[in-house]
Amino acid sequence: MMTEAELAVVRRAFAMQILAAVGVDNPPLEAAYAAVPRENFSGQGPWQIFRWRMAYRPTPTADPVYLYTDDLVGLIPERRVNNGQPSLHAHLINQAAPKKGEHVVHVGTGAGYYTAIMAHLVGATGRVTGIEFDAELARRARANCAGAKNVEIVEGDGAVAPFATADVIYVNAGVTRPIDNWLDRLNDGGRMILPLTTDQAFGDLNRTPNQMINQGAVLRIEKKGGDYFAKWISGVAIIPCAGARDEESERALAKALAGGRLNEVTRLYRHDNVADDDCWLRGAGWCLAYR
């Protein structure tokens, strides 16, 4: 087994490599990746590493060194609930840009690894509220984050659970439409990371990773005054968000994704009164639009 001193070096290298992989130059985020031990949020080793078409492979031993790669780690492998890919989260957290003193709400906190990374970024004057639907994961996250005074873990459905207004809402499960509960609680200047996914974005191991990732789109929504600015920032394959999906919006999303032009989207409107030519995706009472 590697010693703690050796692991500290491994974590530092991991942090540098993960951020470099997605072209992110963000020293506080790099320091957070270097500081937070992934093994403290991954349960008992050996760990199940998600290998896409080969499903899971166990690490050879319970040496934490095996967790410092850009792979997904099974939290509940039988349900394909994973600790997400470090480089994807580095990109998404960089886009969310949590700052010292801010309030972050993390929907789908899992066992708390990225919650702890964002807690590191907001510091002692800020706080992170992690909301987790699965009771066992919420319990694990609460235990794993017990040492962090600026983290609160709530067990519940993030689509409806009330929370104090937030500067960042970081959603880690796939929705088919924007959720009013989140838009209503985003502070002016606040940023939301929103993964929109079709039913094809996760689950079928016969699909290649790229086929799955193309069925998901992560949007960065920024609230400025009464306006919501929207921008595509990534593809994604991620498990569905309970309570935040419906068939009608899923069908409309699949059609919009097939039509392309996602990277031309600039606005989210909380009404659907937008000209067809300007509309990328319309739902009842909302629209993602080109201008």
Q: Which residues bind ligand SAM (CB under 6 A)?
A: 81-84, 107-111, 113-114, 131-134, 137, 157-159, 172-173, 238-239, 241-244
- For residues 60, 62, 67, 68, the Cα torsion angle rounded to the nearest 10 degrees is -90
To ligand SAM, the closest distance from the beta carbon of 276 in angstroms equals 32
Nearest Cα neighbor of 230 from 162, 183, 197, 174 is: 183
DSSP 68: S
Q: How far is the CB of 266 from ligand SAM (least distance, A)?
A: 27
For residue 289, which of 231, 214, 215 has the smallest C-alpha distance? Answer: 231
* 8 Å CB contact between 230 and 267: yes
In the complex, least distance from residue 277 CB atom to ligand SAM, rounded to whole angstroms: 34
Query: Contact 93/117 with Cβ under 8 angstroms?
Result: yes
Q: Least CB distance from residue 196 to ligand SAM, whole Å?
A: 14
Residue (of 114, 224, 210) closest to 170 by Cα position: 114
Residue 89 Cβ, how far from ligand SAM at the closest point, in Å? 7
Q: Which is nearer to ligand SAM, 19 or 241 (CB)?
A: 241
Query: Residue 137 or residue 192: which is nearer to ligand SAM going by CB?
Result: 137
Q: How far is the CB of 85 from ligand SAM (least distance, A)?
A: 8
Closer CB to ligand SAM, residue 213 or residue 289? 213
Please give the radius of gyration of the chain, using alpha carbons only, rounded to the nearest integer: 18
Instruction: Report the nearest approach of ligand SAM to the CB of residue 163 (Å).
Output: 11
Q: Which residue has 């994973």 as its token pair?
A: 82
Residues 79 and 56: their CA atoms lie apart, in Å, by 12
> Would you state the structure tokens that stand for residue 264, as one six-digit string?
């031309």
Q: Which is nearer to ligand SAM, 145 or 239 (CB)?
A: 239
Question: Which CB atom, from 139 or from 270, has the smaller least distance to ligand SAM?
Answer: 139
In terms of C-beta density within 10 A (0-12 exposed, 13-18 middle, 19 or more buried), how is residue 60 classed?
A: exposed
Which is closer to ligand SAM, CB of 136 or CB of 248? Answer: 136
Cα 143 to Cα 42, 112, 132, 165, distances in angstroms? 12, 9, 13, 25
**CB of 113 or CB of 286, closer to ligand SAM:** 113
